[in-house]
Structure 1
């Protein structure tokens, strides 16, 4: 008698860059760098494997946060597997501001939902993962792809995550300079003030609105003018040596704009198809401050998490 195959699934999830300058905790864009999550139901017990980025530091037991989100999905689907095998294959650098945790969590949730017969909607997955992650700016583009505008709102039914996807500008390139040091999101958030001047809030509202308009209309000139921020980047500058100089070097080398990717420490410059010497300029500027980094040229990813 032939044994039934063990249910298993593999999910590919893009990395993300959050904020896009002024859109703090609101804007995010998927990038073509990926994490993979493999999930199998087993006869008993729980095992966790990790390969690639962060392999030496990611827990391989019940404290693993991806395993926790997997269990949450099973619980909401009303299922209780006898055992699970979780494998994380990470290409996205950990704690560098490229959405590694959001990608892993989204991958785990999508994989678990697939094994549950797609019991949950995309919206329910978005809500679950945002609860774990704390905010949707990385989660939504990892799940849906493209550029996503998100907000956490309160309705008569309670809190809800609202998100809308827009296509990224055609021909955009994202040059990332990834420093060799980690920067925990908690530390980066701890650098922010509890209150900001009214004029700075207005500054960011206007720039965020214009960034969205520039992306919708593929308006490169406008995009280069409005990726400015006063709510988070100035306060995090002391955590990343040479940040201002790297921004300046990227722009002098031809970048439209350069911003902090998420909470950092990765810095990201945006350009049209011809990137010229932007990556080298960013690397040299970091080196002048004693910071080693690696650079990558990435593209926006129009597709989000996908079962493969």
Structure 2
């Protein structure tokens, strides 16, 4: 196993993401133009030093347990590389445990940094890393959106013969209509993904599955070509109602927005509420009372990227 040269440095940015977008459960994801940034330096002193600024400061692990560090380690091992010591500084702007892809951002941060440290002269290919990111996260929609940016449709490839779902993950990227805007309504109270998933039923009636499949297909069309259909396209019967009891404030806010004809959904596992609409719909959404939520306007974001790279004068 090769060792990363002492003093090699990279800085990466990774976007917040929203998954599901209403009917597209565990398949549709979109990147927001809100980013976490993280700098890495390979140093002579063995071990890991982590500084966290912003969201999660004082709560997130600052050693080998940190999700960025664990993902980086898995990425380096995949490439047959290791570091003697590592110093990193994470500046977190993505709210944690709010359904905005903070864990996916951490995973992708570690993986893109591993590639940049180990192969500084090679272009980063999201397709090469989506499978590992999905393996770490457990579902592909957020990590795919973080890797590729824009709107993605994530899926699991079929097994040989095409009769069942196989391992790994893949994604298609869909162009988003220029009139589409995003508004995240972020509550002060977090909600863990495990709890949000635990309340979902094991099975649903065929008519529910069929209705959601139709709306998910319509949503791709609405986001790419016909934003006037976004209200119809964001209807969901598969998961949001089942989660209402564990995020009652979000459920009330979602209902209020949709009663005004505003295309609103629960962002990922919640509890953030996401409005996906035209500029006029975003402005109207901001007039609806949403006490306890912080509004964050956003466009559609770009994927993870290296923003700086080089070698430190000394790798102390």
TM-score over 0.5 for the pair:
yes
Q: Higher relative contact order at CA 8 Å, sep ≥6: structure 1 or structure 2? A: 2
Does 1:276 pair with 2:283?
yes
Note if contact 2:11-2:39 (Cα within 8 Å) is conserved in structure 1: yes
Q: Among 37, 59, 62, which residue is 1:60 paired with? A: 62
Give the aligned length: 295
Measure, in 2, the Cα distance between the counterparts of 1:140 and 1:125: 9
Measure, in 2, the Cα distance between the counterparts of 1:254 and 1:271: 11
Measure, in 2, the Cα distance between the counterparts of 1:34 and 1:235: 30
- Tell me the equivalent position of 2:172: 164
Return closer, same or farther for 1:83/1:156 CA change in 2, 3 Å cut-off.
farther
- Tell me the equivalent position of 1:13: 14
Note if contact 2:18-2:100 (Cα within 8 Å) is conserved in structure 1: yes
Return closer, same or farther for 1:31/1:198 CA change in 2, 3 Å cut-off.
same
Return closer, same or farther for 1:24/1:66 CA change in 2, 3 Å cut-off.
same
Over residues 262-305 of structure 1, what are the superposed CA-to-partner deviations in whole Å (9 max), with x where a residue is unaligned?
A: 0000001122123324224142xxx3xxxx2211111111x200
Does 1:173 pair with 2:177?
no
How far 1:169 moved relative to its partner? 2.1
Measure, in 1, the Cα distance between the counterparts of 2:288 and 2:247: 17
Measure, in 1, the Cα distance between the counterparts of 2:211 and 2:15: 30
TM-score by structure 1 length?
A: 0.90
Note if contact 1:35-1:89 (Cα within 8 Å) is conserved in structure 2: yes
Measure, in 2, the Cα distance between the counterparts of 1:304 and 1:201: 31
TM-score by structure 2 length?
A: 0.88
Over residues 31-80 of structure 1, what are the superposed CA-to-partner deviations in whole Å (9 max), with x where a residue is unaligned?
A: 01111121111112211111111112111111112111101111111112
Note if contact 2:231-2:264 (Cα within 8 Å) is conserved in structure 1: no
- Tell me the equivalent position of 2:241: 234
How far 1:160 moved relative to its partner? 2.5
How far 1:29 moved relative to its partner? 0.3
When the two chains are superposed, the root-mean-square deviation of aligned CA atoms in Å is 1.9
Report the secondary structure of 1:143's partner residue.
Answer: helix
Measure, in 2, the Cα distance between the counterparts of 1:194 and 1:251: 27
Stretches of structure 2 that go unaligned for 5 or more consecutive residues are 308-316
How far 1:85 moved relative to its partner? 1.3
Measure, in 2, the Cα distance between the counterparts of 1:125 and 1:59: 24
